[in-house]
Copies of this chain bind each other. A is one copy, B any other.
Amino acid sequence: MPLAQIDLPRALFEEKATAIGLELQAAFVEAAGVPPADKFQIFRPREAGELVFDPSYGGVDRQNLIVVQILMVHHHPVDQKRALYRAIVERFVKLGIRKEDILIAVTENGFEDWYGGKLYGE
């Protein structure tokens, strides 16, 4: 159960949220072995002044930040994480999102840290 939380400019949300959600999930399936139906996404459209960033940190030309936070169980090796980032970036680029504008951050927990609609043992 990866949980994706996407903070993004409202204009981008209005225009492309459905496609972003589909491509993000496709990247999870393709690169991280997540079942297609294991899909939980929270979109949080942001107004002007709510997403604050440096436009050039790391030698990257940032213009219109989209932040993808992923909470998932700790069992993906580093190579798989890198493949996941690559898949997300490639798919977002096809939607017209600049790769420089993407920030991805992963946080990990354990299998026992989830309740997904039914209790343990049910």
Report B-chain residues with C-beta under 8 Å of the C-beta of A54: 36-39
Chain B residue at minimal CB-CB distance from A56: B37
CA distance A63 to B52 in the complex (A): 26
Decide: B3 and A60 in contact? CB cutoff 8 A: no
Report B-chain residues with C-beta under 8 Å of the C-beta of A56: 37
Q: How many residues of A contact B (CB 8 A)?
A: 61
Decide: A58 and B109 in contact? CB cutoff 8 A: no
Decide: B43 and A44 in contact? CB cutoff 8 A: no
Q: Which of A1-30 contact B (CB under 8 A)?
A: 1, 3, 7, 17-18, 21
CA distance A116 to B65 in the complex (A): 10
Cβ-neighbour of A102 out of B85, B106, B112, B117 (below 8 A): B117
Report B-chain residues with C-beta under 8 Å of the C-beta of A35: 57
Report B-chain residues with C-beta under 8 Å of the C-beta of A51: 41-43
Contacts A57-B37, A114-B105; A119 near B50 (Cβ below 8 A)? no
Decide: B39 and A57 in contact? CB cutoff 8 A: yes
Residues of A within 8 A of B (CB): 1, 3, 7, 17-18, 21, 35-46, 49-54, 56-60, 62, 65, 67, 69, 71, 78, 81-82, 85-86, 88-89, 99-109, 112-120
